[in-house]
Amino acid sequence: MEITDVRLYTVAEGTQGQRGADAGESQYWGGGWQTDALIANPMSIYEEYRDSRTSWMGPGQDPFVVELETDEGDVGFCANYGGGRYACDVIDTHYRRFLEGANPFDVERIWEQMYRSQLPYGQRGISMMAISGVDLALYDLIGKITDQPVYNLFGGRSMDEIPCYVTTHMDVMEHMAGEGFFGVKLAAPWGPADGKAGLRKTEEMVAETQALFGEDTDVMIDAYMAWDKEFTVRVAERLRPYDVKWIEDPLHPGAVTEYRDIRHDIHPIQMAVGNLEFGYKAYHQLLDAGAGDIIQPELQWCGGLTEAHRIAEMCKGHGLPICPHGASVYNYHFVMAHTNAPYAEYLTVADGTEVRPIFDAIEGEPLPEDGSIDLGDDPGFGVELNHDILKPFGSAD
């Protein structure tokens, strides 16, 4: 058995969760609160780029799809929300040579060949998003060949169903208050540029959230790399009375020493890190420095399931939980198969008023019911590809 065809697609503009950088969307953004509400971000310090993501996002944050087919007609795919046409180009002109003619079960060798070959120009960002897409497509393919769900390829069910927390925004959070999620994570609207007013408003936001969801619901804050050390510590000091579970990614990637110091300063609030780290070596540095409490690799960016599994094993040695960042069927299979991945994230999309599918490019996406997800036993990731909204990479507009 061998891989005989590698097909690449971009995703039609204007479809749910797939509009990409031109619409100011990243990851699963599908309009609504993700683009209309105020959200602190790495560009918030610049007034002209603060309010609109369309003003600074680039096509590297567009989605893409990779589809693999064998000589026996089996097909696996991944719909990745980062990398766009650049990731397609890397796969098409470079990684393709390691895939065509390869046995799809040789995941480790294929992964290593892709990774080693991109060392001179990659190691982060686009090249790793491309590797992640291929890796996830391989596992989807293997699951379909063996008639097994992907979680069975990594040890089977570690739980009957997956508890979820919900990520939303203060402007629309009331719609998720009765959906059974164990926790709520809020996109932070303010950062250092807002001074003391930003500190005060953040505290008021958390107080309102706790009053709405109740004291039994965990509250978390996603700072999306928009804060600095001082703002993070001062926010944490104000939030001590509210029993906040964690603050997520307040600093830029690679801030190992700073995260170690902040983690100590904000205790017992936990530090969640890893959204924009790539490859197990970066996570080894975080873990070795004691820089995080909740480790959050992005499966569709960090290197796929192959790399996330390595990171999970390192976390186990440190006694730390791993909770993949973002919401996707890929994350759900990972969480199901790993005992130190105790829960998953669900991200509201569009206007944030209902629990609904995140991707239009994926058909059959599992959804939380009463705050939990029950994965079936369909082969692969158990979802299908919606070809109606795909455009072959390199085709004319």
- Among all residues, which ones are annotated catalytic? 325
> How many CB atoms within 10 Å of residue 274?
28
Contact 149, 379 (CB under 8 A): yes
Distance CA 362, CA 359 (A): 5
Distance CA 307, CA 297 (A): 9
Find the distance separating the first CA and the last CA of the chain, reported in whole Å: 35
Give kind and range of the element (H or E) at residue 183.
Answer: strand 183-187
Structure tokens at 96: 């393709």
Contact 70, 79 (CB under 8 A): no
DSSP state of 380: B
Contact 375, 163 (CB under 8 A): no
Distance CA 41, CA 364 (A): 32
Distance CA 61, CA 224 (A): 15
How far is residue 256 from each of residues 24, 40, 226, 252, 292, measured CA to CA in Å?
A: 29, 21, 16, 10, 9
Contact 115, 94 (CB under 8 A): no
Q: How far is CA 5 from the centre of its chain?
A: 27
Distance CA 71, CA 77 (A): 16
Instruction: Tell me the residue ranges of DSSP E strands in 188-261.
Output: 218-222, 246-248
DSSP-derived 3-state class of residue 263: helix
